[in-house]
A = this chain, B = another copy of it.
């Protein structure tokens, strides 16, 4: 076991800041979405992804790989959203095992309804707090962080 390289002051401040911001932002987002739209953050993310997907549908696995949650977690959420009429399941014609999650019109409407408030909160808690230069650094740095982590199974 090599000698531990502890974090110096600069590194510690960055790490603490990241961790705290991460927790607080997520909490706030969840709260705002639930209060204003009755959607959880994971559910909102699913709607966004489906809305952006060609044909407004995605395979369960693709959806899970996005980042949201584990496979089983996704199954749960999609089931909930299906009950709420926001999403519909469609079996894949070329692979019997496969399942598409399809965005319904109701789901699309719900998303459009929730989006403005969500964006406003995103600005309030993060985007409008930072300068354009800071935003660029964030995009580049954290983008790389995410890229390196993506692909690991959970």
Cα-based distance from A130 to B131 in the complex (angstroms): 19
Cα-based distance from A67 to B13 in the complex (angstroms): 16
Known: A15-B122, A27-B154. A142 touches B4 (CB 8 A): no
Cα-based distance from A154 to B29 in the complex (angstroms): 11
Q: Which residues of B contact A23 (CB under 8 A)?
A: 67-68
Interface residue SS majority, chain A? helix
Are the CB atoms of B4 and A139 closer together than 8 Å? no
- What per-residue 1/0 map shows which CB atoms of A112-152 lie under 8 Å from chain B? 00011001101101110111111111111111111011101
A90 within 8 A of B: no
A11 within 8 A of B: yes
Nearest Cβ on chain B to A125's Cβ, whole angstroms: 6
- Of B20, B122, B141, which contacts A129 at CB under 8 A? B141
Cα-based distance from A26 to B130 in the complex (angstroms): 23
Q: Which residues of B contact A127 (CB under 8 A)?
A: 7, 11, 14-15
Nearest Cβ on chain B to A150's Cβ, whole angstroms: 7
Q: Which residues of B contact A123 (CB under 8 A)?
A: 5, 7
Known: A119-B6, A129-B145, A130-B14. A137 touches B139 (CB 8 A): no
Are the CB atoms of A7 and B149 closer together than 8 Å? no
A76 within 8 A of B: no
Are the CB atoms of A24 and B136 closer together than 8 Å? no
A92 within 8 A of B: no
Are the CB atoms of A134 and B129 closer together than 8 Å? no
